[in-house]
Amino acid sequence: MSRKPPERDVALAVQKLRVHYAKRGRLRFSSHRDFQRALERALRRAEVPMAYSAGFSPHPKISYANSAPTGVASEAEYVEIGVTKLCDPERMRAALDEALPPGLDVVDVVTAATPDFVNRLEASRWRFEMPGVDRATAQAAADVFLAQGEVIVERLMKNGIRKFDTRGAVLSLTVTDESGVSGSQGSAAGDSCAILEVVTRHVTPSVRPDDLLAALRIAAHLVPPVPPRVTRLAQGPLIPGSTEIGDPFAPDRAALVSS
Amino acid sequence: MTTPQAHVPGASVFDRLEALLPFVSKPIQYVGGELNAVQKPWESVDVHWALMYPDAYEVGAPNQGVQILYEVINERDDALAERTYAVWPDLEKLMREHQVPQFTVDSHRALGDFDIVGMSFSTELGYTNMLTALDLAGIPLHAADRHGGHPIVIAGGHAAFNPETIAEFVDAAVMGDGEEAVLLITDIVRDWKREGCPEGRVGLLRRLALTGVIYVPRFYDVEYLEDGRIKRIVPNEADIPWRVRKFTLMDLDSWPYPKAPLVPLAETVHERMSVEIFRGCTRGCRFCQAGMITRPVRERSITGIAEMVESGLCKTGYEEVGLLSLSSADHTEIAEIAKGLADRYEGTETALSLPSTRVDAFNIDLANELSRNGRRSGLTFAPEGGSERMRKVINKQVTEEDLIRTVSAAYGAGWRQVKLYFMVGLPTETDEDVMQVAELAREVIKAGRAASGRRDIRCTVSIGGFVPKPHTPFQWAAQLNHEATDARLHKLRDAIRADREYGKSIGLRYHDGKPGIVEGLLSRGDRRVGRVILQAWRDGARFDGWSEHFSYDRWMNAAAVAFADEPVDVDWYTIRERQQSEVLPWGHLDSGLDADWLWEDWQDSLSEVGVEDCRWTPCFDCGVCDQMETEIQVGPTGVVTLPMPTVRTTAVLVEADA
């Protein structure tokens, strides 16, 4: 006879909420697992009526989508949360933001009114700040990269080293610059700081910021003197016929208004 | 490289650290940002404390001692406290290359800027990490080389009950409960600074020493006999007290710390909140330094515990609460506490756990109560000694009958896995005593199969090497050498493996005896051992508590160099039995335990005579309460229902529902 999980009211989720949050400043060094623990504790602190799975070790019903790598800041991260009582999205946003440590900031919450949210996250826009790299050097490297048909990089994955193309996932790459970017990184490496903005399509395997930096090194010998600061500025659906990224919550808002 | 700008005291070094973080493993451990962390403006206070737990962040961050002192200091308007931990070798290397100093994780301030660096030593194996931190901070390793601008370095924690091996590296050491100690030190440092630092650094250290509760090694001279033993330890200034007393906190209910436990972002070894339900233990296990140096028992009341659990959960969002103490089931009202908390948090997905429990059937009821919501991890019991005789020697008053009854109840109630803790290398132990561990494990499985009616139940036997510790009845004992330790462990392993009927149901976990010898050297050493620590550190010793970083040969080579001109060696400190007349290195440090009582208890041990627990029997004059003017503080209070939690409003619901 084996032990049965204790009888419990496994209250069903009556509502799903989609949360848009940012990972900023020093907390960009948190990993996906670090964020999961922080979020689950914040949900308890904020007294969000979480839906839990059944079984011996119940876990809260949370779906994570496509998180930015450790070390990369982000203005556009998303999770979906199931609750057992109806929650007000704006109150939820405020309470959850208050309960999370500064640097993990809740930007927006909507009630999920449409399916297939993850599939809607088609592309990301990344910003690379490169202290010590001047705009002309970065532009030249970008031109070389964009002129290639493919740029193969290697990454260590679960099954060993895998080679894959990065060029195909890059929809646009533009270079600007900003002198005197905050922080002493800039001054230590000279005042110039090229800014690259890259739009990538989400493909498998995903092309991540590290892969793009590796590609620029391989294709155009661009080797920044200090580690670039990378931020995901947006992710969501590609607006047809452009390389612009739309608001992934737009269909939910539209459905709620029409209902 | 450009010249760094002049460093402003208290300024953040995060910009310089940040550039190194992409190149190290688990960078999150260095960035701080924990929930409930405190940051104060540098100039807003008189006294700046850096608290260091000299191990990796994942081990140090959950440490209760540091969290308590952090809050106690930060509650003051005239002081601030920040935390720092040992950096892993990958970051250490980069910090040296880029001249980034040891930093605090709260505001990333340089360690060298602080007035006081408080080091919390749970174990002696953190000593080399202290040296790394001081060195990275640019603080001279030897206290004698520090001047007015350097922090004073103060050791605390259990290992500080014999700080002699690090006497040359620390300016002061504090024994016992830290809450009132840090308040007293803060007062003294503040007053000294406000008065314009009279007599400089030495003036401050003298003020600390004159309290009689803060040990300042520089004011004590150690004289040796020709054979290497200590002749005497004497104050070298007129008013310096001969003996230094430990701190003892009374009335735990008025010290409900930590009130807002830190919630790290990084994964740590304890993913839960802890509430200390009592301090001290008088069970009298003779090997147990913690039980000896934390007397008397002081309970937190059932009301105080319930309030700490409730407010801690609100402030952290943790999903598990550990009820912490040296032997949690010994709280006079543990049944009421367990039932009360289990009732209150039923259906909230909050788990409760009792980390340290004794072997008796009552604890199975408790465990059932605590695992009501379905989470059921293994049950752990610590008979410590394999044979009945051995358990009498160590005064662990548990019979085989007790153990079998307890585990039968556990297996009968649905547990399938039981862990048993033992020690090897105890005084007077023979091979036969250790082989009894296998016999006991067989009986446990036999009883478990009968009670559960299944064959797939298991028991895991975990064995640690015994290290004699200061301020215990075994402080005079010879430690077993590592060769004999390993031989006994292998014999036991072979016996379990050879058992066809039960062997496959018994798991055995142990470590080799070598690290225990280094721990023994550091535990019972004197000031001469400091040279070994320094040499080993220079040879690369770091993170000695981690088997992948520890090197026995490095320590032995360092000892050979350091002791070249001394009449002593590692064996002399470890496997040599001491006589009653020998002056022990910690003889001038007063844990309250009467030296004659300790010696009698050592003799009773050799005669296999037990001693009772003074909570339930008359006082047997261990000396602590008389010496320290303390008393046993235990319930029952008679309160059986927990106070109601504060009514909370769930602010996230839609209005109609709220």
Q: Is B373 on the interface with A (CB under 8 A)?
A: yes
Separation CA B408–CA B448 (nearest Å): 5
Q: How many helices and strands, by DSSP H and E, does chain B display? A: 21, 18
User: What number is the average pLDDT over the span B275-280?
Assistant: 96
pLDDT at A178 over 80: no
pLDDT score of A187 = 45
CB B296 within 8 A of CB B177: no
Residue B181 lies in a domain: yes
Q: What is the token pair recorded at A140? A: 């030249």
> Which residues on chain A are in Cβ contact (under 8 Å) with B22?
71, 227
SS3 B299: strand
Rounded to a whole number of angstroms, the CA Rg of chain A reads 21
Closest residue in A to B14 (Cα–Cα): A26
What is the spatial distance between Cα B379 and Cα B367, in angstroms, rounded to a whole number? 8
Residue B49 covered by a domain: yes
Q: Which helix (H) or strand (E) holds B47?
A: strand B47-53
| B542, pLDDT greater than 50 | yes
Q: Kindly tell me if the per-residue pLDDT of A179 is higher than 80.
A: no
CB contact under 8 A, A44 and B319: yes
Are the C-beta atoms of A77 and A68 separated by less than 8 Å?
yes
- How far off is chain B from A54, nearest CA to CA, in Å? 11
Q: Could A49 and B263 be called an inter-chain contact, meaning their C-beta atoms sit closer than 8 Å?
A: no
Q: Residues A40-45: what's their mean pLDDT? A: 94
| pLDDT score for B2 | 46
What is the overall mean pLDDT for chain B?
93
Indicate the SS3 state at residue B487.
helix
Check residue B5 and give its pLDDT.
62
Which one, of B21, B265, B33, B40, lies nearest residue A103 by Cα?
B33
Measured between beta carbons, the chain A residues lying within 8 angstroms of B316 are 41, 45
To the nearest whole Å, the CA of B275 is away from the closest chain A CA by 18
For residues B482 and B408, which has the higher predicted lDDT (pLDDT)? B482
pLDDT at B541 over 90: yes
Comparing CA positions, the residue from A25, A208, A44 lying closest to residue A105 is A25
Taking all residues of chain A, what is their mean pLDDT, rounded to a whole number?
90
**Chain A residue nearest residue B98, CA to CA:** A188
For A62-69, what is the mean pLDDT? 92
Q: How confident is the model at residue B172 (pLDDT cuts 50, 70, 90)?
A: very high
Q: Which amino acid is at B135?
A: D
Residue B85 lies in a domain: yes
The answer to the question of residue B542 being in a domain is: no
Which range of residues forms the domain containing residue B105?
14-223
Weakest-pLDDT range from B208-222, B313-327, B595-609: B313-327
Using DSSP's 3-state secondary structure scheme, residue B448 falls into helix
Give the pLDDT confidence score for residue B359 in this predicted structure.
Answer: 65
Is the ipTM value over 0.90, yes or no?
Answer: no
The answer on pLDDT for A174 being more than 80 is: yes
Note whether residue B438 is domain-resident: no
Confidence band of B648 (pLDDT split at 50, 70, 90):
low
Interface contact B626, partner A, CB < 8 A: no
Mean pLDDT to the nearest integer, B510-520 = 96
Which 3 state secondary structure label does DSSP give B359? coil
Beta strands in B331-446, from DSSP E residues, in sequence order: 351-353, 379-384, 417-424
Angstrom distances, CA of residue B216 to CA of B18, B53, B131, B387: 37, 21, 19, 43
pLDDT digit string, tens, across residues B38-80: 999 999 999 999 999 999 999 999 999 999 999 999 999 999 9
pLDDT grade, residue B355 (50/70/90)? confident
Indicate yes or no: CB of B18 within 8 angstroms of CB of A26: yes
CB-based burial label for B332 (10 Å; 0-12, 13-18, 19+): middle
Pairwise CB contact (< 8 Å): B376 & A44: no
Q: Nearest CB to A86: which of B315, B316, B657?
A: B657
Interface test with B, best of A88, A92, A210 (most B CBs within 10 A): A88
A172-181 long-range contacts, CB within 8 A, separation 24+? A172/A197, A172/A198, A172/A199, A172/A243, A173/A142, A173/A145, A173/A146, A173/A197, A173/A198, A173/A199, A174/A142, A175/A135, A175/A138, A175/A139, A175/A142, A176/A135, A177/A134, A177/A135, A177/A138, A178/A129, A181/A129, A181/A131
The pLDDT-based confidence of A188 (bands split at 50, 70, 90) is very low
C-beta of residue B333 within 8 angstroms of C-beta of residue B637: yes
> Does B1 have pLDDT greater than 60?
no
Mean pLDDT in residue range B607-623? 91
- Which domains are present in chain A? 15-117 (3.30.70.580), 123-236 (3.30.70)
Compare all CA atoms of chain B with the CA of A30 and give the residue at the minimum distance: B28
Does position A2 have pLDDT exceeding 50, yes or no? no
Q: Taking 50 as the threshold, does the pLDDT of residue A181 lie above it?
A: no
Put simply, the answer to whether A71 touches B27 (Cβ < 8 Å) is yes
Asked if pLDDT for residue B655 goes beyond 70, the answer is no
Using a CB–CB cutoff of 8 Å, tell me whether B608 touches chain A.
Answer: no
Torsion, CA B614, CA B615, CA B617, CA B619, rounded to 10: 40
Segment B107-119, tens digit of pLDDT: 999 999 999 999 9
- Tell me: pLDDT of A207 over 90: yes
Q: Which residues of B425-459 are buried (b: 16+ CB within 10 A; e: fewer)?
A: bbbebeeebbbbbbebbbebbebbbebbeeeebbb
Q: Residue B374: list chain A partners with CB under 8 A.
A: 5-6, 8, 56-58
How far is B579 from chain A, CA to nearest CA, in Å?
Answer: 53
* Residue B136, domain member (yes or no): yes
- Give the Cα separation of A17 and B580 in Å (integer): 71
- Whether A9 and B347 lie within 8 Å, measured CB to CB: yes
Inter-residue contact B166 to B528 (CB < 8 Å): no
At A4 the pLDDT is 55
Q: How far apart are the first and last CA of chain A?
A: 51
Interchain proximity A41–B34, CB inside 8 Å: no
In angstroms, how far is CA A189 from the centroid of its own chain? Answer: 28
- pLDDT for the residue A185: 46
Q: Are A39 and A100 in contact (CB under 8 A)?
A: yes
Domain tally, chain B? 1
Q: How many CA atoms lie within 13 A of B110 on its CB side?
A: 21
Collapsing DSSP to helix, strand or coil, B81 comes out as strand
CATH, residue B80: 3.40.50.280
Q: How many CB pairs under 8 A join A and B?
A: 128
Helices (H), B263-399: 289-293, 302-316, 334-344, 362-370, 388-393
Q: What is the pLDDT of residues B95-150, one digit of tens each?
A: 999 999 999 999 999 999 999 999 999 999 999 999 999 999 999 999 999 998 99
CB contact under 8 A, B652 and A58: no
Q: Give the CA diameter of chain A.
A: 73
Q: Where are the beta strands (DSSP E) in chain A?
A: 15-23, 62-65, 73-83, 104-111, 123-131, 152-157, 160-165, 170-177, 193-201, 229-236
* CB-based burial label for A15 (10 Å; 0-12, 13-18, 19+): middle
Partner-chain residue, chosen from A42, A56, A91, that has the shortest CB–CB distance to B317: A42
Higher pLDDT, B248 or B636: B248
Please check the confidence at residue B518 and state whether its pLDDT lies above 60.
yes
Report the alpha-carbon distance of residue B616 to residue B330 in Å, rounded. 11
Place B376 in a pLDDT band, splitting at 50, 70 and 90. Answer: low
Q: Which residue of A has its CA nearest to B266?
A: A34
Phi, psi of B336 (to 5 degrees): -65, -40
**CA proximity to B165, closest of B136, B207, B123:** B123
Model confidence band, residue B361 (pLDDT cutoffs 50, 70, 90):
low
- Distance between first and last Cα of chain B: 61
| Closest Cα in chain B to A31 | B28
Q: Is pLDDT at B374 greater than 90 in this prediction? A: no
Residue with token string 């809607």: A120
Query: Using an 8 Å Cβ cutoff, are A197 and A233 in contact?
Result: yes
Which among B18, B317, B657 has the least Cβ separation from residue A45? Answer: B317
Residues of chain B positioned with their CB less than 8 A from the CB of A81: none
Cβ atoms of A194 and A177 within 8 Å: the answer is: yes
* Inter-chain CB proximity A45 and B314 less than 8 Å: yes
Q: What is the DSSP string of A31-66?
A: -HHHHHHHHHHHHHHTT--B-B--SSS--B-EEEE-
Nearest-Cα residue of chain A relative to residue B33: A101
Q: Could you tell me if residue B212 is inside a domain?
A: yes
Residues from chain B contacting residue A226 (CB–CB below 8 Å): 19
- Per-residue pLDDT at B636 exceeds 90: no
| CA B95 – CA B72 distance, rounded (Å) | 31
Q: Of the given ranges (A36-50, A52-66, A123-137), which has the lowest mean pLDDT?
A: A52-66
**Within a domain: B280:** no
